[in-house]
Structures are given as structure tokens and as C-alpha cells.
Amino acid sequence: MRQVFLSTEDVEIIGWAEVTEKMSLTIEIRPPDGTIGGTDNAPDSGLSLANRIKQVTPNISDIVLIFNTDDAQFFKALKCIHN
């Protein structure tokens, strides 16, 4: 996912992080203005992080990119974002 955005001229990547247990604490202390997450490597961890971000900061923009064409994965992402 990072490679796609690096080649896009009008998108600036100002941070990059792997999903870790410390991520929730960081989000609570310094909430982002928006996030873009993916489900390419570990689908459940990416969706869990999106869900946690929405719980802590419900007013931010959160985009989840789904690389799997499985409908179950898509509906799981929708549920996560709209909870």
C-alpha cells in the first residue's frame, strides 16, 4: 500500500506504522486527523486497529483498503467502521 501512495504526486505520507499493542495508547495520546489502513498482510489486525481508532476518535476520517475480494472481509470492514 505504501508503494502505491509513494508514486502519487498529490499525496504526502507523513507517518507510517505497523500495527502493535502500543498503537491504541498512541492514538489516545495523539489522535490522528485521518487514517488509511489496509488488510493486505494481517486482515484482522488492520480491522481491529480501524475499530479501535473509531472508538477513541469517532470524528476522524478512516479509510480501509481491502485487497481481498472476499465479501465477508468487505462486510467486516463496513461493520468495523460504522460501529
- Residues 15-39: pLDDT tens digits? 776 667 677 677 778 877 777 777 6
Would 47 be classed as within a structural domain?
Answer: yes
Domain coverage including residue 28: 2-7+20-82
Confidence (pLDDT) at 83: 58
Would 74 be classed as within a structural domain?
Answer: yes
The secondary structure of the chain, three-state, reads CHHHHHCCCCCCCCCCCCCCCCHHHHHHHCCCCEEEEECCCCHHHHHHHHHHHHHHCCCCEEEEECCCCCHHHHHHHHHHHHC
Would 12 be classed as within a structural domain?
Answer: no
Lowest mean pLDDT among 28-32, 42-46, 51-55: 42-46
Would 53 be classed as within a structural domain?
Answer: yes
Report whether pLDDT(44) > 70: no
Would 14 be classed as within a structural domain?
Answer: no
Would 34 be classed as within a structural domain?
Answer: yes
Would 75 be classed as within a structural domain?
Answer: yes
Confidence (pLDDT) at 37: 74
Confidence (pLDDT) at 9: 79
Domain total of the chain: 1
